[in-house]
Structure 1
Amino acid sequence: MPRFAYHLFPYLSDNYGVLLHDPDSGATAAVDAGDGEAVLAALAEKGWNLTELWITHHHGDHTDGLAMVKEKTGCTVTGPKGKSASISGIDREVGEGDTFEFAGAEVQVLETPGHTLDMINFYLPSEKVAFTGDTLFTLGCGRVFEGDFAMMWESLSKLMKLPADTVIYSSHEYTLANAEFALSVDPDNAALKGRAEKFKAMRANDQPTVPSTMAEELETNPFLRASDPAIRSHLGMEGESDAAVFAEIRQRKDNF
């Protein structure tokens, strides 16, 4: 059973932030701070006091509220080592293989470049939870801005090695568009069809499609399924490498 309580909250047009809270110590962390007012409102709603802020990458919809949140709460800010634009206010820079503790639980840092060069994800093995930022979404993956397709495939491949029951908290509500695209490259996937219908109903009721699990993504997310024979056949890429198939899928999504 997870030790921590989790609170997902929306901000801006389609972003999600997450709070995680240890009821024993009172320690609370937030993942990203694109909107400082939204983070502070979520904390007030739960009655939690922020002790840590974890930043996944430098884009403004993940960092614009950092200064406000730090000033109002006095939290310690953990973020990526400078490999892209600098992020002002980071107290602890971390990268691949680094670990730190939150309320006695180990937090592992995974570098997952592609969307940006400084992208990091946070994985808590004891909680079976990963915060994947803009690397892996429900039925999708991040657009490749600063890296290249091979780099992004390597990053996704790293996440695919997490246990199947890992809960995936991603940073955007892109799922309906992702589902429509996924069906265009994996049209005979019964599990995908089922998820797509479920998500339509959820969004009609304003329910979030985050989090998901790694098992669900491996079964239905085309960006993780470059080795799948049906997708390869559909694309006419039976003899290509997984990285090449992924690149084709990502480029098709970019133009979808």
Structure 2
Amino acid sequence: MYIEIIPCLQDNYSYLIIDDSNNTACVIDPSESQPIIDFLDNKNIKLKYILNTHHHYDHIGGNKELKKKFRSTVVGFKGDSKRIPEIDILLEDNQIWKAENFEAKIMHVPGHTSGHICFHFFKEKLIFTGDTLFSLGCGRLFEGSYEEMYESLNKIKVLPKETKIYCGHEYTLSNSKFCKKFDSENKDLQKKIEKIEKQRHNGTPTIPSTLKEELECNIFLRAKDVETFSKLRDLKDNF
């Protein structure tokens, strides 16, 4: 299997998980349908599953058209069954979702939204974090509490450090400025900023990151308690 990053809208990423043994794919969070259709048609790949981390339009905007064209199955959290269009399979926290050669553990991570989930493809050591964890950042709290988001991030923090992080947006460079302001002595962060500046200069994605990098550099994952996290989240909202 391999991952294809599909830029969508202004700064979203959708991801195709492609099983090259049978030319089938899942898509994570299709913001819009056309870039995904173009790639799949060009490669003659069949889209079998549409996986949604949460209900925000920039993560589900392509659901209807993709399902119609490819007769795909839409997969999402049971708590968001009324907010995810065309949903077919309702997932629960800690469930193992398995279909053909695709297999992921479902992690309910409320905070950004009440029904947000991550898809942890544990065999491949990949996690799709939507808008919960970004590289060098975390999502805004639209429907959850500071405590919920802090605990959600803690669930991700205990995964294997080599786990690759695929998040919903290309926010890394702007996030780095906030981390640098409040963690200016962090040598690992300084090295990561050099790397991402080169990536953006070359027009390449800063994603995936690794959990190891995020534990070393992401100020929200480095917060020692919920009070510190809450203060950082407030500061970031007004940064």
TM range (shorter): over 0.9
- TM-score under structure 1 length normalisation: 0.90
Identity of counterpart residues, as a percentage? 41
| Counterpart-to-counterpart distance in 1, 2:133 and 2:20 | 28
The one-character-per-residue Cα deviations of 1:156-183 (angstroms, maximum 9, x if unpaired) are 0000011000011111000111000001
CA RMSD in angstroms, aligned pairs only: 1.3
Worse-superposed segment, 91-100 or 75-84: 75-84
Q: Does 1:97 align with 2:84?
A: no
Question: Does the 8 Å contact 2:30/2:62 carry over to 1?
Answer: yes
- Which residue type is aligned with residue 229 of structure 2? F
Residue 214 of structure 2, aligned match among 209, 213, 217? 217
Structure 1 position 179 matched with structure 2 position 176 = yes
Structure 1 stretches lacking a partner, 5+ long: 228-241
State the distance in 1 between where 2:15 and 2:119 align: 12
CA offsets, 1:97-156, max 9 Å, x none? 111114334310000110000101000111011000001111111111110111100000
Asked if structure 2 preserves the Cα contact closer than 8 Å seen for 1:58 and 1:85, the reply is: no
Displacement of 1:7 in angstroms is 0.3
Runs of 4+ with >2 A deviation: 44-47, 82-85, 102-106
- Which of 150, 159, 165 is equivalent to 1:168? 165
User: 2:238 maps to what in 1?
Assistant: 255
Structure 2 unaligned regions, length at least 5: none
Counterpart of 2:150 (choices 150, 153, 156) is 153
Q: 1:125 to 1:72 in 2, by over 3 A?
A: same
Q: For residue 153 of structure 2, what is the amino acid of its counterpart?
A: L
Q: Secondary structure at the match of 1:223?
A: coil
Is residue 2:16 matched to residue 1:19? yes
Q: Name which one, 1 or 2, has greater alpha-carbon Rg.
A: 1
Is structure 2 residue 44 aligned with structure 1 residue 61? no
The answer to whether the 8 Å contact 2:23/2:44 transfers is no
Counterparts of 1:21-40 in structure 2 under 5 Å?
21-40=18-37
Q: Does 1:246 align with 2:233?
A: no
Query: SS where residue 154 of structure 1 aligns?
Result: helix
- Looking at structure 2, the residues matched to 59 and 196 of structure 1 have their Cα atoms a distance apart, in angstroms, of 29
> Is the contact made by 1:53 and 1:78 (CA closer than 8 Å) also made in structure 2?
yes
Equivalent in the alignment of 1:82: 79
Change (3 A) 1:246 1:119: same
Measured after TM superposition, the shift of residue 37 of structure 1 is: 1.1
